[in-house]
Structure 1
């Protein structure tokens, strides 16, 4: 215990033991397969919704992770669009919050915590807001 505390700044032992048990028993692999499939379906749903409701928007990034980055040509500043979306119950982040230099307006869209139907509804709201 003492050596571990000095080696890794004292990470909790219990979560590491639980993770080791999950890995030894094969449960971790099953869980990862399930999560990969679920997140792939949600990502695909978001990409399809973007194509349908945000014409001209460009999806950036690899087919991995839990977020998509989308840029668009015309419309409000990404900060204004994000604020309007939040007022309609859709939480997104303006891409400009993450940029070091000015560029096209865009959004960071997360898909991990929503169903495919909810994702489609949220992107449809974004499309409506961009058209206003």
Structure 2
């Protein structure tokens, strides 16, 4: 039950970052993206820490395993960082390529966060729990 939560939260955060980025592109143009992408990664770091602690506590309360809590915390944290990056980076690159980011970005962002969310959880679990 934890894997879909991690993937879904990554998709939600990525979509929020995507919306902010598309708004910025609409108002200011794609211009320099370094500072903006870095800011969204920082937001992902903070969101990941807060959400990761919450889901780690939930996992610990349900299973009583501290290591499981650590695994889900790290997976959530990593996925939130990826979501912030993808939500800012993908639409700016699509815009520079002449592709409307409001049409094409969400598929890439959701696919990336879903894949990495599941991968991080399973990889961390296989290395820390087995």
> When the two structures are superposed, what TM-score results if normalisation uses the length of structure 2?
0.30
Greater RCO between the two (CA within 8 Å, min separation 6)? Answer: 2
The structure whose Rg is larger is 1
Q: Give the alignment's TM-score, normalised by structure 1.
A: 0.30
Greater fraction of residues in helix = 2
